[in-house]
A and B are shown apart, each in its own frame.
Chain A
Amino acid sequence: MVAVRIIPCLDVKDGKVVKGIHFENLKIAGDPVENASFYSKEGADEIVFLDISATIEGRKTMVEVVKRVAEVVFIPLTVGGGINSIDDIEKLLSNGADKISINTAAVKNPKIIEESAKKFGSQCIVIAIDAKKIGESKWEIYIESGKKPTGIDVIEWAKKVEDLGAGEILLTSIDRDGTQDGYDIELTKSVSENVNIPVIASGGAGKLEHLYDAIVYGKASAVLIASLLHFRILTIPQIKSYLKERGIEVRL
């Protein structure tokens, strides 16, 4: 069967990695190619680049970043952050991105999901959902980097994006993000059981058990990890051998 994916997430601003590996040699700290190559060699199954540039000029550099990375790193690359149009998607895909993650633009204009899936194939359209718990087994979608509530129910939205042709869901718990308290298992499970497309769990990883729980109890097909890897609290080989010991299929 297909192996569970371990996916490091790198935040990029104006062409530089701002949340990435804490290299001792700071000269290469911000270099996207160095960061991606490092994780690829360590056994990452995929890499997510999240563009957090605030300006249009900053965002333009993302195409160049992807291109430079794709020239030397031969594992799947997903790019998200500020993607607004079919044109943005096309530019990134034709410069080496394999998948595009869309968040705010999809909520504001769901047609972009349908159009892009038809044009580029479902397998490259990832819908990123930022979810905040608002009650018993109930979560609301937030957009604009988790700042703006929408009143939209997460489960309903997840089903809708699947119908529109999304190939995957990148699900972040706003409540857990940055806490290291563990993924929101109930949220991950609810979404995963309500759609037939893969779900990537994100937000809250703090230790090995959390990853196991997201996969086994949350039914996630993949786990997204940032600080835990960047600060070298855990390494990818360590994560994979732990999961394998506990009976989960990983690519070693």
Chain B
Amino acid sequence: MIGIIKYGAGNIFSVMACIKKIGKDCYFIEGGKDIEKAEYIILPGVGNFAEGIEFLNKNGLTEKIKEKLKEGIPFLGICLGLQLLFEFSEEGNKRGMNILKGKVIKFKSINLKIPHMGWNKLEILKRSRLLDGIAENSYFYFAHSYYVLPEENDIIYGKTEYGIKFPSFIVKKNIVGVQFHPEKSGEKGLKFIKNFLEKKWLQ
């Protein structure tokens, strides 16, 4: 089963709708025990970092997610769901799940409108089967003020330009993270989620 971690109060509905559209079933993970039957874990991006990590820690999800990741379960973190994987975020100055080395920082240029909101290009640095059927420089939908800075350069598979080039697509073994919202990125977004669920990228 595909488990979607339900936290905060934002738009989880669209992730679920996307999976249904692809023809698969999913369920919500609200506490540590719900995670057991998950064959895939999706951590959507809603709300703010401090509240997100507090929810995961308080409900025993951080440890359970780590266990599942060690078992090799495919994981997809979207937007805040990607950011929560890291050690630290400037948003609320909080520690994250500390699964990936690096931190989350805020866009700083004074000439930029923040949040980075709208459709922007994914520049591919490393090819992955997660991008099967998705052309170089395809547009995806973004809505965020913070971005990730991983310590391990080789996990950065794609970048996006907004004042600077920031990592927008990362892969490390069974862990996938995207700063954009595939569930809001039309046909290409659906294709991305379909590719994730088909697991060819894992081989």
Chain A residues near B (Cβ < 8 Å):
1-5, 40, 45-46, 67, 70-72, 74-76, 90, 93-98, 118-124, 167-168, 196-199, 221-222, 251
Contacts A5-B119, A120-B47 known; A196 to B9 CB distance under 8 Å? no
- Once bound together, how far apart are the Cα atoms of A167 and B144, in whole Å? 9
Cβ-defined partner of A167 (8 Å) among B18, B115, B189:
B115
B60 neighbours in A (Cβ, 8 Å):
none
Residues A75 and B48 in contact in the complex (CB < 8 Å), given A197-B114, A221-B113: no
Tell me which residues across on chain A come within 8 A of B189, comparing CB atoms.
Answer: 74
Instruction: Select from chain B the residue with minimum beta-carbon distance to A197.
Output: B113
Verify A75–B9 contact, CB threshold 8 A. no
Smallest Cβ distance from A8 to chain B, in angstroms? 15
**B158-195 CB contacts (< 8 Å) to partner A:** 161-162, 183-187, 189-190
Instruction: Name 24 A/B residue pairs within 8 A (Cβ), A-sorted.
Output: A1-B162, A2-B118, A3-B139, A46-B118, A72-B17, A74-B14, A74-B18, A76-B184, A93-B9, A94-B9, A94-B10, A95-B13, A96-B13, A96-B14, A119-B9, A121-B47, A121-B48, A123-B117, A167-B115, A167-B117, A168-B117, A196-B114, A198-B115, A221-B118
In the complex, how many angstroms separate the beta carbon of A73 from the nearest chain B beta carbon? Answer: 9
| C-alpha spacing A168/B185, complex, angstroms | 19
Q: Complex: how many Å from CA A70 to CA B20?
A: 12
B141 on interface, CB distance cutoff 8 Å: yes
In the complex, what's the smallest C-beta–C-beta distance from A170 to chain B, in angstroms? 12
Q: Lowest 6 A-B CB distances belong to which pairs?
A: A123-B143, A96-B13, A251-B139, A251-B119, A2-B118, A198-B113
Residue B59 interfacial (CB < 8 Å): no
CB neighbours of A122 from chain B (8 A): 115, 145
Q: Does B88 contact A (CB under 8 A)?
A: no
A121 touches B185 (CB 8 A): no
Given contacts A72-B21, A74-B186, contact A197 B119 (CB under 8 A): no
A230 to B114, CA, bound (A): 31
Do residues A1 and B161 form an inter-chain contact, with CB atoms below 8 A? yes
